A and B are shown apart, each in its own frame.
Chain A
Amino acid sequence: MAITEAVPGVGKQIRWLDFLAAFRAWLFLGILLITFEIWAHAEYDSTFLLNPFNVKSIAVFTVTPLLLGLGQTFVIISGGIDLSVGFTMGLSAVVTAHVFNWGSQFGNPVLSLVLAVLAGLGIAVVPGVINGLLIADLRVPPFIGTLGMYGVARGVAFLLARGTTVPVQGGLLGAIGNGEIAGFPNLVLLTIAILLVMHYLLSQTRYGQHIYAIGGNVNAALRAGINVRNNTIALYILSSLTAGCAGILYTAKFSAGAAQAGEPVLLDSIAAVVIGGASLFGGSGTVIGTVIGALIIAVIQYGLVFVNVEPFWQFVAVGVVIIISVLVDQIQKQVGKDGGHG
């Protein structure tokens, strides 16, 4: 007698719910955009979506939380969390500014740019390596390990900046940070390139597969011969690198490196990952989901200003969206469990 699946009919219903749940982030974004469009027409007789300026502004606004969220997605899927990304971003921002200024002595702005970017990325690797070693080798729980790095990165960033923002001399960095190609802001194009790489890494490579496995059952991963230790360290380096990218782009945008640039964005980045469908316990999540999550947060915050809602409601709105996302996630998991097996 073969081992078969009972109650095939139920399977079909569950498939619809799965579909809905997988696309709930998209649905939510769609509902939001439509709501704001209607609202804008009703109150101000103007369009929200069809205004390319709005679309561009929202896209640029999404860049920072999205970049922080990309690395965070990987870390959260593996069952960890990275609280240090905000100040790693600030550290990179400050170093990028300093090195760009230092490099101007060579008279070649492109050289300064290259040096600055390399330095910004290079310094970002350091907190990542330390986090990785703390968590993989010393078994420090990710929450605590990265919280420690949060403090260290912050202190170092402020020391390097000597307490102020570091202004950038020379216009090349600012031109790139604020320029456009064919109507697309450079920052958005760069972010799209980075997210495509991350998407490939997570969904198509063995490494990505192993991250999911570590998040699902780290013992299974170990027994399957996956090098959990090295993979974990790589994870936190990846997270710091995306934070470093965010810092470099910040300095490019504002022509100044600020140590506290990333501080207000940390929680938004985690929220983006969760709204995008990841579970904070690990094992699930996608890059596209995080993109949608970051867009949802940006659209809410931008949109509420646009339709002139009192500022405090913005905080409430983002919080409500997070709660709804997690609830829907829980419901989907429950239904999947009860109806999905024979």
Chain B
Amino acid sequence: MDNVSAPSTLLEAENVSKRFGGVHALKDVSLTLHPGEVLALAGDNGAGKSTLIKIISGVHHADGGSLRYEGKEIKFDNPHQARDCGIETIYQDLALADNLDVGANVFLGREPVRRIFGLPVVDRRLMREEAEKTLRALDIHIHRLSIPIRSLSGGQRQSVAIGRAIHWKARVLIMDEPTAALGVPEQRKVMELITNLKGSGVGIIFISHNLIDIFQVSDRIMVLRRGSKVGEVRTSETNPDEIVRLMVGG
């Protein structure tokens, strides 16, 4: 960023709370995210990590607190609004259609159309070319772009999901356990991809149990426990033991 002043805040959550019936899933949790920054969200099961990202991505409404996106207060009625703002979420199931190819998945729901003799025809060549461009820009190489993506590896499919988000100009990318289902070499590749994304000014929040990943790419780590924020530290100023202690409250 060539901005001389302090980096603008991309996303800000202030004292967000959420109840589900009698359960207090989130209690006064605050979060900030800057462009080009990677924030890791850590915590044991039931800590409230999923709830927080679901509020940010428009799936849930917060009961208390507020959200600001690029300085402006926002309230999402549904996930599509969040997506239109540039907040893209990649859940563990990746939301990819296994039977379609890379281009079709990247353009899912937004397929480009050209006209032949006045009849609308889906422009598959354009989809393939654009998808290829986006993936190359992220340094992802998938040779066979026209096969159904169920034939690709887990890491490649994760890349397609990320590529899709980037293609549609996501400013905030939220990922839920991006490496949970991958083998070690592929985990490293996905983490490299995330590092590449930082350079283009995208703000990234990712939930992970994998401390190696967290310490490899994140700038800050936020730890939740039982719905409350129990710690927020710069990655360079902490170590895995401290994070674990914060998570389990020892």
Residues of A within 8 Å of B155, CB to CB, are 3
The answer for the CA separation of A295 and B97 in the assembled complex, in Å, is: 31
**Residues of A bordering B, CB below 8 Å:** 1-5, 8, 11, 18, 200, 204-206, 208-210, 212-213, 215-217, 219-221, 223-226, 283-284, 336-337, 340-342
Q: Is B192 touching A212 in the complex (CB atoms < 8 A)?
A: no
| B144 interfacial contact with A, CB 8 Å | yes
| B184 interfacial contact with A, CB 8 Å | no
Q: Is A212 touching B99 in the complex (CB atoms < 8 A)?
A: yes
Q: Is B156 touching A342 in the complex (CB atoms < 8 A)?
A: yes
Q: Can you list 29 A-B contacts with CB-CB less than 8 angstroms, sorted by A residue number?
A: A3-B193, A5-B156, A11-B143, A204-B119, A204-B122, A205-B122, A206-B120, A208-B122, A209-B100, A209-B111, A209-B122, A213-B97, A213-B104, A213-B108, A213-B109, A216-B97, A216-B99, A217-B95, A220-B95, A220-B96, A225-B109, A225-B110, A226-B109, A283-B98, A340-B147, A340-B152, A341-B153, A341-B156, A342-B153
Q: Is A215 touching B143 in the complex (CB atoms < 8 A)?
A: no
Residues of B within 8 Å of A212, CB to CB, are 97, 99-100, 104
| B211 interfacial contact with A, CB 8 Å | no
Closest to B113 in A: A206
Q: Is A5 touching B142 in the complex (CB atoms < 8 A)?
A: yes
Q: Is B99 touching A284 in the complex (CB atoms < 8 A)?
A: yes
| Interface bits B73-100 vs A (CB < 8 Å: 1, else 0) | 0000001100100000000011111111
Most B CB contacts (10 A, CB to CB) among A3, A11, A217 go to A3
- Return A77 CB to nearest CB of chain B, in Å: 9
The answer for the CA separation of A158 and B99 in the assembled complex, in Å, is: 41
- Return B133 CB to nearest CB of chain A, in Å: 15
Residues of B within 8 Å of A220, CB to CB, are 94-97, 105, 108
Residues of A within 8 Å of B140, CB to CB, are 2-3
Q: Is A210 touching B109 in the complex (CB atoms < 8 A)?
A: yes
The answer for the CA separation of A147 and B188 in the assembled complex, in Å, is: 51
| Interface bits B178-210 vs A (CB < 8 Å: 1, else 0) | 000000001001001100000000000000000
| B151 interfacial contact with A, CB 8 Å | yes
| B129 interfacial contact with A, CB 8 Å | no
Q: Is B119 touching A200 in the complex (CB atoms < 8 A)?
A: yes
Residues of B within 8 Å of A200, CB to CB, are 119
Residues of B within 8 Å of A11, CB to CB, are 143-144
- Return B119 CB to nearest CB of chain A, in Å: 7
The answer for the CA separation of A208 and B150 in the assembled complex, in Å, is: 20
Q: How large is the interface on B (under 10, 10 to 19, 20 to 34, 35 or more residues)?
A: 35 or more
* Of B97, B141, B144, B156, the contact of A217 (CB 8 Å cutoff): B97
Question: Would you list which residues of chain B between 97 and 136 have a CB under 8 Å from chain A?
Answer: 97-100, 104-105, 108-111, 113, 119-122
Closest 10 CB pairs of A and B: A224-B109, A340-B151, A216-B97, A283-B99, A216-B99, A224-B108, A220-B95, A225-B109, A341-B153, A204-B121
Residues of B within 8 Å of A283, CB to CB, are 97-99
| B139 interfacial contact with A, CB 8 Å | yes
Q: Is A215 touching B109 in the complex (CB atoms < 8 A)?
A: no
| B159 interfacial contact with A, CB 8 Å | yes
Closest to B154 in A: A341
- Return A209 CB to nearest CB of chain B, in Å: 6
| Interface bits B1-15 vs A (CB < 8 Å: 1, else 0) | 000000000000000
Closest to A283 in B: B99
- Return A136 CB to nearest CB of chain B, in Å: 17
Closest to A336 in B: B151
The answer for the CA separation of A340 and B156 in the assembled complex, in Å, is: 12
The answer for the CA separation of A217 and B160 in the assembled complex, in Å, is: 15
The answer for the CA separation of A337 and B108 in the assembled complex, in Å, is: 23
Closest to A4 in B: B141
- Return B144 CB to nearest CB of chain A, in Å: 7
- Return A337 CB to nearest CB of chain B, in Å: 7
Residues of A within 8 Å of B139, CB to CB, are 2-3
The answer for the CA separation of A63 and B152 in the assembled complex, in Å, is: 39
Residues of A within 8 Å of B122, CB to CB, are 204-206, 208-209
The answer for the CA separation of A116 and B111 in the assembled complex, in Å, is: 39
- Return B116 CB to nearest CB of chain A, in Å: 8
Q: Is A215 touching B111 in the complex (CB atoms < 8 A)?
A: no
Q: Is B93 touching A206 in the complex (CB atoms < 8 A)?
A: no
Q: Is B97 touching A206 in the complex (CB atoms < 8 A)?
A: no
Q: Is B189 touching A5 in the complex (CB atoms < 8 A)?
A: no
Closest to A14 in B: B151
Question: Would you list which residues of chain B between 12 and 43 have a CB under 8 Å from chain A?
Answer: none
Closest to B190 in A: A3
